[in-house]
Structure 1
Amino acid sequence: MARKPQKTSKSQIVAFKVEEELAEFLDNLPNKSDFIRKAILAQFGMTCPLCVGTGVVARGVHDHFKPVIEHQNQKPCEKCKTPVSFPMNADGLSGGEKKRIEQFLHGGPLYCLKCYPTIPPCDDCGWHVPMEKVAEHFKRQHTHA
């Protein structure tokens, strides 16, 4: 008997206002939450390359990439180029360590424990960004069209 894929747990509810026509359209969808989730990920261009936005991967893909991901969890520090190991999520981390890893997991630069506190944080978002990359950071992270 085939196993059902495990669903990922969702821990937050997000609400927003829309026009009446859009609300009617969404209410007629078979899975409104799934549609909205996929639309948001598509807007950010962050659809998972393994699950392609479904949240589930085929067993063969899982079995192939699990050891690859476990062994390729290092990236050079943006400042000193020392190899830095990173977890797949920030669960269990606290304080500065959590902020350092979350910065990377959300698309920001990854720094080693030694370099991270030496780089000033952005006044708007708190990400640690070297002075020579502040303009680029603002264009990427703080430009709202």
Structure 2
Amino acid sequence: MATTGKSEMISFKVDESLRKAMSGIPNRSSFIRNAVIAALESSCPLCKGTGVLSAQQKKHWDTFAEDHTVRECRQCHEFHLVCAKQPRRKSAHRVTRSKRSSVGG
């Protein structure tokens, strides 16, 4: 994430159990900053982590979904998008024979 050089103080309330859980962390500001950045990088690119699409986003999704499906990976059981127009690709989990032999397997 790029920084602009400007910084802003943001504070928030935590319940007692979270306060206790974080009490042993030496640099809580850095820990929280890194956790927020990680969460933002992992959030849904459409809903931005809200879990809900706007009416316009839903229209775009419906058009996209005409040629795409959501499938469960047989190996890790996570869901992923599959394009109906692309030839079937190897799973992200499959290791090619040449990679296996170079690793010693």
User: TM-score over 0.5 for the alignment?
Assistant: no
Task: Specify which structure has the bigger relative contact order, considering alpha-carbon pairs within 8 angstroms and separated by 6 or more residues.
Answer: 1
More strand by share: 2
> TM-score, normalization: structure 2?
0.40
> TM-score, normalization: structure 1?
0.31
Larger Rg, first or second structure (1 or 2): 2
